[in-house]
């Protein structure tokens, strides 16, 4: 890009909102992928911060006319390198498109600009008695646009599903600058192909989402967290299946290797109270009334007991529940220095015990370990690869492929939540056949004939 391009962009968004100095742009080059596996950013890329959809459209129109690649940056909390510009690009940062246009209480929907963060939405909903939004990927700095196009999930998916289930409409800017309104405040809408759903989960490769219409839900007033410690992992998994069958659907059912619960608690100056057992489940219940909550707790406890659980621990006070959740959420800080790559596989729930046992055996074969953290009731397992003597192991690629072979053996997917981004583009070819890949390439070409939107993401030529 040249000074002429910078000036054109300054004319659109104002001088203060075009960053070309590398010291200023550095913070916009990476997401949360571990440093060793980050796609290298092209540091000649510049950052532009539009204030509304029209400015986004004008920037994109300029880029389209001048064949300049564009990468959209949301909250930068992604775990697949999606918002990193790998060729010289205009990085469009959405931080100023942060308006909450409407909380429509009658229709139970929210109309939000794409840069509204999850934290901002949750704070706003505090002001609206009885309305909530359930999807919660771990980092509240994620933006609505980013959550939409990564189809974010999180711990509460067991009850509420993933992001695409809750998005009723979007405003999107196509790679030629044209603005589309897709869907709306409609519960039912079967008019033609669902372009809105196609853009959701496309990781910023088909269109730029500038607005979202989200479904809201009645807030549940009572919640409680149960820690259920089992000796045997298989028993814990059977309890999960029975809980799902019981009709009492928890808000979340989380599993972590015991050492992660105890170690993270210690790191935080806390104590993990479940001393017995090797396999602890964290089961979060959320109900409308106290009576329903008592009933749910009883159901879960009975099922756990039937599957040989030690005595369950119940946290009812908000402060106690927050402490437990903090231990679950902060485990990453506990392991971050020892791991070089992390994974996000998903398998059918029934296959979890065999799949995790095989992952552990595989790690033993390589004389390494694999920290297992799982949204276990969704079959979504996070595992990792460890450094050897502070370096990425020489067997990294081979080991990863053998993990994937296990994923495929159990009918799974290489990513349940985090997406393909830039770091798993080659891995996608291991899961999808040429026909599927060609259909994806065709769709990309229809939306983005010049290939300027987020090059090197999800699919390559």
Residues that bind ligand FAD (CB under 6 A): 31-32, 71-79, 82-83, 94, 114, 137-139, 142-143, 145-147, 149-150, 152-154, 203-204, 208-209, 332, 417-418, 454, 457
Shortest gap between Cβ of 113 and ligand FAD (angstroms)? 9
CB of 210 to ligand FAD, least distance (A): 7
State the Cα–Cα distance between residues 9 and 34, nearest whole angstrom.
32
Least Å from the CB of residue 293 to ligand FAD: 25
- CB atoms under 10 Å from CB of 140, counted, come to 15
Task: Provide the 3-class DSSP secondary structure of residue 58.
Answer: helix
Rounded Cα gap, residues 274 and 262, in angstroms:
9
We find the least distance from the C-beta atom of residue 299 to ligand FAD, in angstroms, to be 26
**Nearest approach, Cβ of residue 321 and ligand FAD (Å):** 18
Calpha distance 120→154 (Å, rounded): 18
Q: Which is nearer to ligand FAD, 240 or 293 (CB)?
A: 240
Tell me which residue has its CB nearest to ligand FAD: 146
Query: Closer to ligand FAD at the Cβ: 121 or 309?
Result: 121
Shortest distance (Å) from residue 201 CB to ligand FAD = 10
Q: Nearest distance from residue 203's CB to ligand FAD, in Å?
A: 4
- Residue 346 in contact with residue 415, Cβ under 8 Å? yes
SS3 239: helix
- Find the DSSP H helices in 104-232: 118-126, 144-149, 157-160, 195-199
427-448 core/surface letters (b: 16 or more CB in 10 A; e: else): bbeebbeeeeeeebeeebeebb
Of 93 and 262, the one with the shorter C-beta distance to ligand FAD is: 93
By beta-carbon proximity to ligand FAD, the closer residue of 173 and 309 is: 173
Residue whose CB is less far from ligand FAD, 232 or 323: 323
Which residues make Cβ contacts (< 8 Å) with residue 305, sequence separation at least 6? Answer: none
Nearest to 213 by CA among 180, 186, 179: 186
Residue that the structure tokens 């409680």 belong to: 224
> Which residue in 198, 218, 106 sits closest to 148, CA to CA?
198
Q: Which is nearer to ligand FAD, 12 or 147 (CB)?
A: 147
**Residue whose CB is less far from ligand FAD, 307 or 328:** 328
Burial class (CB in 10 A: 0-12, 13-18, 19+), 336: exposed
Q: What are phi and psi of 122, to 5 degrees?
A: -65, -40
CB closer to ligand FAD out of 202 and 262: 202
Integer Cα distance of 250 and 2 in angstroms: 55
Q: Which residue number, 45 or 77, has a Cβ lying nearer to ligand FAD? A: 77
CB of 209 to ligand FAD, least distance (A): 4
Shortest distance, CB of residue 454 to ligand FAD, whole angstroms? 5
Residues with Cβ < 8 Å from 68, sequence gap 6 or more?
Answer: 1, 5, 62, 88, 89, 90, 452
């Amino acid at each position: 890009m040249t000074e002429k391009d910078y000036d054109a962009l300054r004319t659109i968004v104002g001088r203060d909102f075009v960053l070309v100095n590398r010291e200023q742009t550095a913070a916009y080059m990476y997401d949360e992928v571990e440093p060793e596996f980050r796609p290298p950013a092209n540091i000649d890329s510049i950052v532009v911060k539009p204030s509304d959809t029209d400015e986004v459209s004008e920037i994109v129109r300029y880029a389209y006319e001048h064949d300049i690649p564009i990468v959209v940056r949301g909250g930068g909390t992604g775990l697949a390198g999606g918002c990193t510009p790998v060729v010289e690009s205009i990085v469009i940062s959405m931080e100023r498109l942060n308006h909450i246009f409407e909380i429509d209480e009658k229709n139970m929907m929210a109309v939000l600009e794409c840069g509204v963060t999850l934290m901002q939405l949750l704070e706003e909903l505090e002001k609206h008695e009885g309305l909530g939004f359930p999807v919660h990927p771990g980092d509240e700095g994620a933006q609505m646009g980013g959550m939409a196009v990564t189809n974010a999930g999180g711990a509460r998916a067991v009850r509420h599903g993933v992001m695409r289930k809750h998005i009723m409409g979007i405003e999107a800017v196509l790679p030629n600058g044209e603005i589309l309104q897709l869907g709306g405040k409609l519960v039912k809408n079967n008019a033609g192909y669902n372009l809105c759903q196609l853009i959701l989960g496309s990781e910023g490769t088909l269109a730029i989402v500038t607005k979202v219409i989200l479904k809201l839900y009645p807030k549940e007033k009572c919640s409680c967290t149960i820690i259920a410690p089992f000796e045997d992992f298989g028993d814990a998994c059977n309890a999960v299946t029975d809980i799902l069958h019981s009709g009492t659907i928890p808000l979340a059912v989380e599993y972590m290797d015991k050492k992660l619960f105890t170690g993270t608690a210690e790191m935080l100056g806390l104590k993990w109270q479940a001393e017995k057992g090797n396999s602890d489940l964290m089961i979060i219940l959320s109900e409308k009334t106290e009576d329903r909550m008592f009933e749910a707790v009883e159901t879960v406890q009975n099922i756990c007991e039937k599957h040989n659980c030690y005595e369950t621990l119940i946290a009812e006070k908000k402060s106690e529940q927050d402490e437990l959740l903090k231990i679950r959420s902060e485990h990453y800080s506990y392991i971050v220095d020892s791991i070089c790559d992390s994974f996000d596989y998903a398998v059918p729930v029934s296959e979890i015990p065999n799949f995790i046992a095989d992952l552990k055996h595989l790690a033993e074969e390589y004389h390494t370990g694999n920290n297992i953290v799982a949204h276990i009731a969704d079959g979504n397992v996070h595992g990792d690869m460890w450094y050897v003597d502070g370096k990425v192991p020489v067997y990294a690629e081979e080991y990863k492929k053998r993990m994937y072979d296990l994923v495929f053996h159990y009918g799974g997917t290489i990513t349940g939540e985090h997406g393909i981004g830039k770091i798993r583009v080659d891995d996608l070819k291991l899961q999808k056949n040429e026909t599927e890949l060609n259909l994806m390439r065709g769709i990309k070409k229809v939306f983005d004939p010049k290939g300027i939107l987020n090059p090197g993401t999800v699919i390559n030529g």
